[in-house]
Structure 1
């Protein structure tokens, strides 16, 4: 059972996401919040596996709430819910404590995949969010130079590290990567740490973006 907290100031949005998650008995929405401050307090009370946070909320915005949750409840993975109209907020969120990014208007299957991935300790990017990030967060917004830089960084990895990076880009947690590569999970953790260091990025989300840019991940 994956325990989920849902935070959004729009009750209809909360109801819709709760209904989607309710279609699969693997998910249990243990608490709901209408603002970021309440979300932080409920995470402390319930310690869910995943917190789904709207980016724009009253009292405390989702990005600030994500940072607090990451600092005080590291066992709770954070997924930001967004729309493309909030692109300036998305850019800020990539340097924050979130592990996943989903579009509110996205395919429900992405919601299931994203929550499972982040609950398992992985990062997850909605394919459309990944494409946005490639266009907007690259080197000066220059798509060609951004892709070239990503390929140069990836070329500096070993073949096994590139294989692991591709699986990280696909949103797989360490346990699943270990199963696919027939190694122990501790070995995957060592690989991921080395990859982050060699790519000079702070987290799996930004490593996943480089995987997309370098062509290691099929673009949906």
Structure 2
């Protein structure tokens, strides 16, 4: 059973999301928070698998919440709920380890699939804003956030792993990568797990930033040249 914590300052949204998610046979809501402070307290007591978090909340916003939660509980996944005008907030939430973001108003199927996907180790970027994700990764790569990978760590990467790194850097989801490379989503997830282990990176976001910083994301093949 996947344990989910909801954090949103709007009661209607909390109740609606709770109703939808509790209706799933493999998902249960373990808490609802109306602000960031409550979210942090509930994370400590309930130990959810996933936090579905509004990016703009009183007392402690979703960005700071993400930072605090991921620092104390790195295995807990955070999905940010956002709107089109929240680019800077999302940018910072991804820096602090959010597994992705969804637009408010997402379909029930996309919401529930997102929860399951991050638990499996994937990341979620709403299709409508995939191009924004690439822009964010590029901004991170040009900023003061440097992802260090020793050249020796890349020597054992396989051809398909280089191809997957390239696609992650371009902002593609696991499903899109699977389709592009004629692989199953499970195989893509396995490759990603292997890549993160070989490069000693925390998550997909760090991998994407590294891919942009090193130019892998822009290469026709994706491997070293």
What residue number does 1:192 align with? Answer: 196
**TM-score, length of structure 2 as denominator length:** 0.70
CA contact (8 A) 1:66 1:78 kept: yes
Which has the higher mean CA deviation after the structures are superposed, 202-211 or 53-62?
202-211
Residues 16, 160 of structure 1: alpha-carbon distance in 2 compared, 3 angstrom cutoff = same
Contact 1:53 1:78 in 2 (8 A): yes
- 8 A contact 1:3–1:27 mirrored in 2: yes
Gaps of 5+ in 1: 141-156
Work out whether 1:10 is the aligned partner of 2:10: yes
Counterpart of 2:154 in structure 1 is none
RMSD of the TM alignment (CA)? 3.5
Preserved contact between residue 170 and residue 208 of structure 1 (Cα < 8 Å): no
Q: Deviations over 1:80-133 (max 9, x none)?
A: 111112122122222112112111122222211211111122222122232222
1:41 paired with 2:56, answer no
In the alignment, is residue 170 of structure 1 matched against residue 177 of structure 2?
A: no
Residue 57 of structure 2 corresponds to: 57
Q: Which runs of 4+ in 1 moved over 4 A?
A: 166-169, 176-179, 208-211, 213-216
Partner of 1:26: 26
* CA distance in structure 2 between the aligned counterparts of 1:71 and 1:158, rounded to whole angstroms: 31
Q: Structure 1 residues 188 and 134, CA, compared in 2 at 3 Å: closer, same or farther?
A: closer
Match of 1:180 among 177, 182, 187: 187
The 5 A counterparts of 1:56-205 are 56-135=56-135, 137-138=137-138, 158-165=158-165, 166=167, 169-171=172-174, 179-180=186-187, 189-194=193-198, 203-205=203-205
Q: Is the 8 A contact 2:97 2:205 kept in 1?
A: no
Give distance in 1, aligned partners of 2:164 and 2:97: 22
CA, structure 1 residues 171+45, in 2 after alignment: closer, same or farther (shift >3 Å)? farther
SS at match of 1:79: strand
SS at match of 2:116: helix
Check whether the contact 1:164–1:191 (CA below 8 A) recurs between aligned residues.
no
2:196·2:202 contact (CA, 8 Å) conserved in 1? no
SS in 1 for 2:17: helix
So what's the TM-score if we normalise by structure 1?
0.72
CA distance in 2, matches of 1:61, 1:139: 22
Secondary structure of the structure 1 residue equivalent to 2:95: coil
Distance change >3 Å, CA 73–CA 136, structure 1 → 2: closer
Task: Report the Cα distance in structure 2 between the residues aligned to 1:113 and 1:76, rounded to whole angstroms.
Answer: 17
**Any unmatched runs of 5+ in structure 2?**
141-156, 176-182
**Are the equivalent residues in 2 in contact too, given 1:50–1:79 (CA < 8 A)?**
yes
